[in-house]
Amino acid sequence: MANDETVAGAESASLRIDKIGMADLSDALKKGYDDFVAMPSHAVFLGVVYPVIGLIIGRFISGQSLLPMLFPVMAGFALVGPFAATALYELSRRRELGVDASPSHILELLRSPAIGAILELGAMLLLVFFVWLVAARAIYHSTFNDVMPASVDEFVHQIFTTQAGWTLIVVGNGVGLLFAVVAFSLSVVSFPLIVDRHVSALKAVVTSLRAVGANPGAMIVWGLIIAGSLALGSLPFFVGLIVVLPVLGHASWHLYRKIVPH
147-177 pLDDT, tens digit per residue, is 888 778 888 899 999 999 999 999 999 999 9
- What mean pLDDT is reported for the chain? 87
Asked if residue 3 has pLDDT above 70, the reply is no
Residue 130's pLDDT is: 94
Q: What is the pLDDT of residues 42-93, one digit of tens each?
A: 666 666 666 676 666 666 666 656 778 888 888 887 888 899 889 899 999 9
Residues 227-261 as b/e (b if ≥16 CB within 10 A, e otherwise) read eebbeebbeeebebbbbbbbbbbbbbbbbbbbbbe
Residue 238's pLDDT is: 74
Higher pLDDT: 226 or 238? It is 226
pLDDT mean over 172-196: 96
Higher pLDDT: 146 or 140? It is 140
**185 pLDDT band (50/70/90 cuts)?**
very high
CA distance 117 to 155: 41
Asked if residue 6 has pLDDT above 50, the reply is no
With a threshold of 0.85, does the pTM exceed it?
yes
All structural domains of the chain with their residue ranges: 21-259
